[in-house]
Chain A
Amino acid sequence: MDYYNAISVSQLNKYLTRIIASEELLVNIAVEGELSSFKVKDDVAFFTLKDSFAILNCVMFDTKKIKEPFVVGDKVYVRGSPSFYGKSGKLNFNVNHIEKSGEGEIYKNFLILKQKLLEEGLFDTKYKKIVPNNATNIGVVTSTVGAVIQDIINVATRRNNAVNLIINDCKVQGENADLSIMQALAELDLMNLDVIIIARGGGSYEDLSIFNSERLARFVIECKTPIVSAVGHETDFTILDFVASLRAPTPSAAAELVVSDVQNYKFAILNYVSRLSKLLLNFNENLEADIFAKFYYNNSLINQIISKSIAQINLKQQNVHHLISNELNLKIQIIQNMLEILKKINPVALLENGYATLFKENIRIKSIYDVNIDENIRIELKDGLLNAKITSKESIKR
Chain B
Amino acid sequence: MKFEERLLKIDEITKLLESGNIGIEEAMKSYEIAINECSECLKILKNNKGKIQILNQTIDNGSDENGDV
Choose from B13, B18, B54 the contact partner of A167 (Cβ within 8 Å): B54
Choose from A144, A180, A283 the contact partner of B57 (Cβ within 8 Å): A144
Q: List 8 A-B contacts (CB under 8 A).
A: A145-B63, A146-B65, A161-B49, A172-B61, A173-B62, A202-B68, A272-B34, A273-B38
Chain A positions within 8 Å of B35 at CB level: 273, 276
Cα A280 to Cα B4 in complex, Å, equals 24
Cα A287 to Cα B41 in complex, Å, equals 30
Contact residues, B3-53 vs A (CB, 8 A): 4, 7, 10-11, 13-14, 17-18, 20, 24, 27-28, 31, 34-35, 38, 41-42, 44-45, 48-53
Chain A positions within 8 Å of B10 at CB level: 269, 272
How close is B65's CB to chain A, nearest CB, in angstroms?
A: 5
Q: B62–A265 contact, CB under 8 A?
A: no
How close is A161's CB to chain B, nearest CB, in angstroms?
A: 6
* Contacts between the two chains (Cβ within 8 Å), count: 140
How close is B53's CB to chain A, nearest CB, in angstroms?
A: 5
**In the complex, A223 has a CB within 8 A of chain B:** no
**In the complex, A266 has a CB within 8 A of chain B:** yes
Contact residues, A162-192 vs B (CB, 8 A): 162-174, 177, 180, 184, 187
Chain B positions within 8 Å of A86 at CB level: none
Q: B52–A165 contact, CB under 8 A?
A: yes
> Which of A157, A170, A276 has the most chain B CB within a 10 Å cutoff?
A276
Q: A167–B67 contact, CB under 8 A?
A: no
Which of A121-129, A147-155, A321-329, A337-345 lies at the interface? Answer: A147-155
Closest to A153 in B: B52
Q: A161–B50 contact, CB under 8 A?
A: yes
Chain A 182-223 near chain B by CB (<8 Å), digits 1 or 0: 001001000000000000111100010000000000000000
Cα A187 to Cα B10 in complex, Å, equals 38
Cα A170 to Cα B56 in complex, Å, equals 8
**In the complex, A279 has a CB within 8 A of chain B:** yes
Top 8 A-B residue pairs of the complex, sorted by shortest distance between their CB atoms: A143-B62, A201-B67, A162-B48, A203-B67, A163-B50, A279-B17, A169-B57, A172-B62
Closest to A151 in B: B69
Q: B53–A166 contact, CB under 8 A?
A: yes
**In the complex, A389 has a CB within 8 A of chain B:** no
Q: B65–A203 contact, CB under 8 A?
A: yes
Given contacts A168-B56, A172-B62, A272-B38, contact A251 B69 (CB under 8 A): yes
Closest to B53 in A: A166
Size of B's binding interface in residues, CB under 8 A: 41
Q: A279–B69 contact, CB under 8 A?
A: no
> Which of A153, A200, A269 has the most chain B CB within a 10 Å cutoff?
A269
Q: A143–B52 contact, CB under 8 A?
A: no
Q: A276–B31 contact, CB under 8 A?
A: yes
Choose from A161, A164, A203, A287 the contact partner of B66 (Cβ within 8 Å): A203
**In the complex, A36 has a CB within 8 A of chain B:** no
Given contacts A161-B48, A202-B68, A276-B13, contact A145 B61 (CB under 8 A): yes
Choose from B13, B28, B38, B63 the contact partner of A269 (Cβ within 8 Å): B38
Cα A153 to Cα B51 in complex, Å, equals 11
How close is B62's CB to chain A, nearest CB, in angstroms?
A: 3
**In the complex, A252 has a CB within 8 A of chain B:** yes
How close is B49's CB to chain A, nearest CB, in angstroms?
A: 6
Contact residues, A250-277 vs B (CB, 8 A): 250-252, 262, 265-266, 268-270, 272-273, 275-276
Closest to A139 in B: B55
**In the complex, A232 has a CB within 8 A of chain B:** yes
